[in-house]
Structure 1
């Protein structure tokens, strides 16, 4: 259905005469009282695309939505298209007439204009280079899409679409102060084709993000706990986001996060083994068992974050380094550059360093000797290198 009304929480009143005519067809104006957004959206967070959960899924990029509490992050997610042969044109925010307006995404036979916003993972601002339909099957370009290990087999590699000389632009909106792009001729044609609105699964995903306080910019400062998901209601990536937030806030100690990440790594390996044994799928019994284990993990995360143990770093050089290391680990979990197993191993080192620091201070009236300080710094250097290597491992 072309020119459909956006079902998300955006209800925006714009000065329509200020909007480029080529983009007019995609502006969503809600019925009833409009709310003009006068605050620029935050930059797009940097994150790693989760592996595809199976054949037939298509990537929909994350973006900043707007609700009663301000901007909130809608995680990027793999979803099933409504039918064979359609592609997803992402929505985007456009600045015109002194306000920011939402141009909703849609399904269609070709990629339309999405504001020139570089969402990544095949959506570089114009078109889509992450794959293409061939007959009734979608082929994935594994040069830009995370197709996982043996999950899908209809793939190809085209690295010519990667521009290594391009500076990554995290600007999240079109218009003055943002991306100054206008629709190409092909995009204008695509905008006038027959479109299909987001699926029910996508709408559920939008609504869940809008209702999650942790996704709000006011709460996360541009670092949402859940940046991307392998599927709607995908839990493993949501758990990692909750752990990352606990590390960042100090609600989780190094020991607590180590234990949680080791459990998460074990569960991930179990899922991997089960899928390998069943042609990339989980049996109903295995899925039930995974959900039960994830429920237990969820309760453990909650309990650990709400017990009387919190991370205390101290107002000193060693304490500041410990704090900085934890922030780097949290960022690695948030953007996917660190796995649960890697985070668990680093947190084991951090826990040992913390124990040594506490023992040395108890033995010296709350202070560290120069030799003890030197030893702790050397161990922190080692942990720092491990964090860097884990986050940049290919």
Structure 2
């Protein structure tokens, strides 16, 4: 009897552990889907890097069922050594706008071709690079002071597109038409690390502030960027200079607009796997960006807004219209 009871206890424990593991994976592998498109990316300046080792993570529109789309301010995050941040993005598929979460990894992956600015021009990252164990910043696209940070270089970023706008999603009506490059596709199969705790808390706090809701700020958030995650009240907060396009209130409530939870597509993080930072003594690891330093970044910004390529005609049946009309902003910043 005692042996049978022990076996039962072990079986129950195994069931609990298996359930927890499945739940944890489900939280990563299932994304948000919405029936209306996100607003245009707002126009804002980048706060100065607070110190060595911080990597810029651009702002984006997230979703909650209370207020709909809300702005998560761009911010500087202390980066894991040797790792780069691939931003998340909204992608249209099957009548829904689905969120593909961002992740950390040894190379920049696909982020929808969205021009988030400040080095994230749609492909790769031109704002900095790892050299050994140190993060070096490109002063041509990054707001960095040589007084606080000495690891700097200058590399001109070439803009290949003449038509610019602030579209914040891939696919669908008016969306960016970019597809993954072979390098980006390869990066999706590499080990990835989930957003840091500071990043997830930053997003949560942003959603709790009604001023970040698009329905309240009309696409022009009062807190567009911060110097550090969750630092929403300091003097370093940067307000948006303008909305990235004309804002139109959605015709349905957030509850009506919410789609079913769906598995992330092939370009997302696919769950997160461990990543071992590269050996700082290996010269091959000194440059590991998705876009080589010698290659012009696609659609790289000279201002502080997203500027993706114009969409091409699609042969498939037209999708439902996006939530907002996204037009070219009237104001640009230095960075």
TM-score (norm 2): 0.61
The residue aligned with 1:197 is 194
Offset from partner CA, 1:61-92 (integer Å, 9 cap, x none): 000001011000000000012x2100000000
Greater helix content: 1
Distance change in 2, residues 1:53/1:392 (3 Å): closer
Q: CA RMSD in A?
A: 2.6
The residue aligned with 1:302 is none
Distance change in 2, residues 1:89/1:194 (3 Å): same
Choose from 153, 169, 181 the match for 2:165.
169
**Shift in Å, 1:233:** 2.9
Offset from partner CA, 1:282-306 (integer Å, 9 cap, x none): xxxxxxxxxxxxxxxxxxxxxxxxx
Choose from 15, 38, 42 the match for 1:41.
38
Specify the SS of the correspondent of 2:221.
coil
Distance 1:200 1:171 in 2: 28
Greater strand content: 2
- Residue pair 1:230, 1:237 contacting (<8 A) in 2 also: no
The residue aligned with 2:227 is 230
Q: Does 1:67 align with 2:67?
A: no
Counterpart mapping for 1:91-130 below 5 A: 91-130=88-127
The residue aligned with 1:136 is 133
- Please identify runs of 4+ aligned residues in structure 1 that moved more than 2 A: 3-7, 164-169, 233-242, 391-394
**Shift in Å, 1:99:** 0.4
Distance 2:147 2:159 in 1: 27
Gaps of 5+ in 1: 8-27, 245-334, 337-390
- Residue pair 1:41, 1:71 contacting (<8 A) in 2 also: yes
**Shift in Å, 1:392:** 7.4
Distance 1:41 1:211 in 2: 18
Distance 1:125 1:196 in 2: 21
Distance change in 2, residues 1:135/1:238 (3 Å): closer
Gaps of 5+ in 2: 1-23, 243-303, 306-331
**Shift in Å, 1:162:** 3.0
- Residue pair 1:57, 1:79 contacting (<8 A) in 2 also: yes
Specify the SS of the correspondent of 1:208.
helix
Larger Cα Rg: Structure 1 or Structure 2?
Answer: 1
Distance change in 2, residues 1:102/1:109 (3 Å): same
Distance change in 2, residues 1:165/1:183 (3 Å): closer
The residue aligned with 1:79 is 77
Distance change in 2, residues 1:393/1:54 (3 Å): closer
TM-score (norm 1): 0.52
Aligned residues: 221
Distance 1:241 1:154 in 2: 28
Specify the SS of the correspondent of 1:190.
helix
**Shift in Å, 1:241:** 4.4
